[in-house]
């Protein structure tokens, strides 16, 4: 039986530690091709490159593993892999990450990591994004392998419902004794932004966006609760933004 | 009674024709504040500016209407308006657009126009994104006023369900006799990309992303059908990406 073909991407850029860990893990279970941004693309959401050109260059950064760096966004990387590099075949699995930092709750919308996975799902491919809930540049990835490989294997064995990509968040290493994996929903929460106003050397104002994460969710079936209670969170995600419950409300109450 | 405060943004940039039309229309029903990107941000999806600074400068581009141009994305613009410029109050309505080109179906994910509206919904504000289904730089906006004002007024009068933003697409002027407004869902469709490979003057390869829109949806209750049949489409959108139907599938079938 031939090895599964696994497409690896991320949003922290091809030279980040997280993608190196992911490439090593995926090489243990399949044939890997990497197409990842040539520079950090955190917070890029589901951006694509419109009205501008793209570069795609082969790199030996991962030794014998086939790898390409791309000037575009994570979603661009998946599109280029699927429609240009792999025209004749298609990957059996799209994996993205491992992100340096959490992508729980509302952050899934802003996450470049998850946009690569969701782009995979749009293309009809089984897909998953992995994030480590540790923003430190020194973050310890040594505990993630067990969960990342288990989830990737499970997807390869059982497949995923059509149009679904998984958003996986892993507690930091410091939280010893991770209790297991829990499937859950996206927590209701948001970022409460604060803008730090500064002056550049010419006296002109500029801003740094900072913010606090505010969790409104009192439930226990959401990714924030799951991570806080030391489980790996798995949220199945889809890309139909329709608020189906609101259609009948608008049809009943509105006067067009 | 005081006039409602309306925040206007877009993704084509503050100097585009579409936002000028929207500012004129909204000035007829409320007090307007504009915070929009200083350059085109099409295809930016729900990107935000992370690890970089932001600029925000007052401009008199709309005469007496209060307006600011921002170096960031559409989502950044709404965050800056809500958490910096309007700290003490909050807009009664967030409107985005009018986009030059359609944002139906899967394009809602890639759309900067809709990310501004959805960011409004995340902030708990009634919000709507408007798009004209005409990509021409000469596009005729003369027929949109009736629908844009009607929908904005309806939102101000009745509100929107919590966490919902409307995605409104308007047929092009050439389609005479628009039949009315239909509330519907996002069509199942995708872009089938093609990459046009070229060489720069130094001989290095670069790519242009192009593509064909492929509609899989056989229904009549979706935005593609609605636009093709000459109605204005209104899709209520939300930002919970959880594939709720998939949670029980994963819990039943997977072995963690």
Residues 13-72 of B with CB under 8 A from A: 40, 42-51, 53-56
Contact of A100 with A137, CB cutoff 8 Å: yes
Structure tokens at B70: 């921002």
**Integer CA distances (angstroms), B215 to A241, B151, B188, B224, B235, in order:** 17, 27, 6, 8, 17
Name the strand (E) or helix (H) holding A7.
Answer: strand A5-9
User: Which residue on chain A is closest to B155 by alpha carbon?
Assistant: A254
% of chain B with per-residue pLDDT over 90:
88
Of B49, B82, B150, nearest to A43 by CB-CB distance is B49
Per-position pLDDT tens, chain A of length 256: 689 999 999 999 999 999 999 999 999 999 999 999 999 988 888 999 988 999 999 999 999 999 999 999 999 999 999 999 997 779 999 999 999 999 999 999 999 999 999 999 999 999 999 999 998 878 999 999 999 999 999 999 999 999 999 999 999 988 778 999 999 999 999 999 999 999 999 999 999 999 899 999 999 999 999 999 999 999 999 999 999 999 999 999 888 7
Tell me if the domain spanning A5-187+219-253 has CATH number 3.40.1210.10: yes
Q: Are A242 and B240 within 8 A, CB to CB?
A: no
Q: Are B242 and A43 within 8 A, CB to CB?
A: no
Structure tokens at A65: 């593993």
Residue B1 binned pLDDT confidence (cut-offs 50, 70, 90):
low
**Integer CA distances (angstroms), A219 to A108, A187, A236, B188, B255, in order:** 18, 8, 17, 31, 24
The DSSP string of B123-157 is: TT--EEEEEES---TT---TTTHHHHHHHHHHHHH
User: Which residue on chain B is closest to A157 by alpha carbon?
Assistant: B254
How many beta carbons lie within 10 A of that of residue A193, not counting itself?
Answer: 18
Structure tokens at B151: 């929908």
User: Does the structure show a pLDDT above 80 at B220?
Assistant: yes
pLDDT at A12: 94
Residues of A in contact with B154 (CB under 8 A): 254-256
Of A46, A150, A167, nearest to B109 by CB-CB distance is A46
Which residue, B149, B213, B256, B78, is CA-closest to A157?
Answer: B256
Tell me if the domain spanning B5-187+218-253 has CATH number 3.40.1210.10: yes
Q: Are A240 and B80 within 8 A, CB to CB?
A: no
Structure tokens at A82: 């699927």
In a mutational test of the B interface, the residue from A250, A252, A253, A255 whose CB has the highest number of chain B CBs within 10 Å is: A250
pLDDT at B228: 96
Residues B225-244 have pLDDT tens digits of 999 999 999 999 999 999 99
In total, the C-beta contacts within 8 angstroms joining chain A to chain B are: 222
3-class SS at B84?
helix
Residues B169-207 have pLDDT tens digits of 999 988 778 999 999 999 999 999 999 999 999 999 999
- Number of H helices and number of E strands within chain B? 7, 11
pLDDT at B177: 87
Residues 73-92 of B with CB under 8 A from A: 75-76, 79-80, 82-84
Residue B107 binned pLDDT confidence (cut-offs 50, 70, 90):
very high
User: What is the Cα–Cα distance from B78 to B59, expressed in whole angstroms?
Assistant: 17
Global ipTM: 0.94
Q: Are A47 and B48 within 8 A, CB to CB?
A: no
pLDDT at B256: 73
Q: Are B76 and A110 within 8 A, CB to CB?
A: no
pLDDT at A174: 83
The DSSP string of B3-61 is: PPEEEEE-SS-TTSHHHHHHHHHHHTTSEEEEEEESS--TT-TT----SS-B-EEEE-T
pLDDT at B10: 97
User: Does the structure show a pLDDT above 90 at B251?
Assistant: yes
Residues listed for chain B: 256
pLDDT at A1: 61
Tokens 């995600």 sit at which residue?
Answer: A237
User: Does the structure show a pLDDT above 90 at B48?
Assistant: yes
A89, burial (CB in 10 Å: exposed 0-12, middle 13-18, buried 19+): exposed
pLDDT at A256: 73
Q: How far is A34 from chain B (nearest CA, A)?
A: 18
Does any CB of chain B come closer than 8 Å to the CB of residue A179?
A: no
Of A79, A150, A167, nearest to B209 by CB-CB distance is A79
Q: Which spans in chain A are helix H?
A: 17-27, 74-80, 107-110, 112-122, 145-158, 223-228, 244-253
Q: In chain A, what are the domain boundaries?
A: 5-187+219-253
User: What is the Cα–Cα distance from A194 to A69, expressed in whole angstroms?
Assistant: 34
How much is the average pLDDT of B140-149?
96
Of B79, B163, B238, nearest to A209 by CB-CB distance is B79
User: What is the Cα–Cα distance from B118 to B9, expressed in whole angstroms?
Assistant: 12
User: Does the structure show a pLDDT above 70 at B85?
Assistant: yes
User: What is the Cα–Cα distance from B203 to B182, expressed in whole angstroms?
Assistant: 51
Start-to-end CA distance of chain A, whole Å, equals: 59
Residue B137 binned pLDDT confidence (cut-offs 50, 70, 90):
confident
Which residue, A186, A174, A171, is CA-closest to A229?
Answer: A171
Residues B159-179 have pLDDT tens digits of 999 999 999 999 998 877 899
Q: Are A242 and B185 within 8 A, CB to CB?
A: yes
Residues of B in contact with A198 (CB under 8 A): 53
Measured at the CA of A68, the angle between CA A67 and CA A71, to 5 degrees, comes to: 155
Measured at the CA of A166, the angle between CA A12 and CA A233, to 5 degrees, comes to: 90
């Amino acid at each position: 039986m031939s090895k599964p073909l696994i497409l690896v991407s991320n949003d922290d850029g091809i030279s980040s530690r997280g993608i190196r860990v992911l490439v090593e893990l995926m090489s243990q279970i399949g044939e890997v091709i990497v197409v990842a941004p040539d520079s950090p693309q955190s917070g890029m959401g589901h951006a694509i490159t419109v009205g501008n050109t793209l570069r795609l260059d082969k790199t030996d950064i991962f030794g014998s593993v086939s790898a390409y760096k791309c000037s575009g966004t994570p979603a661009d990387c998946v599109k280029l892999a699927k429609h240009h590099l792999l025209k004749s075949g298609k990957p059996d699995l799209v994996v993205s990450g491992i992100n340096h930092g959490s992508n729980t709750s509302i952050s899934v919308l802003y996450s470049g990591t998850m946009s690569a996975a969701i782009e995979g799902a749009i293309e009809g491919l089984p897909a998953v994004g992995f994030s480590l809930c540790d923003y430190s540049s020194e973050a310890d990835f040594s505990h993630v392998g067990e969960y990342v490989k288990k989830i990737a294997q499970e997807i390869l064995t059982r497949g995923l419902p059509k149009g679904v990509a998984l958003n996986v968040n892993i507690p930091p290493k410091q939280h010893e004794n991770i209790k297991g994996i829990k499937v859950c929903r996206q927590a209701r929460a948001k970022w409460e932004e604060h803008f730090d106003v500064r002056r550049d050397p010419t006296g002109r104002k500029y801003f740094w966006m900072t913010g606090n994460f505010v969790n409104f969710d009192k439930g226990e079936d959401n990714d924030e609760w799951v991570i806080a209670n030391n489980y790996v969170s798995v949220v199945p995600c889809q890309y139909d933004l329709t608020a189906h419950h609101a259609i009948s409300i608008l049809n009943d109450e509105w006067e067009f």
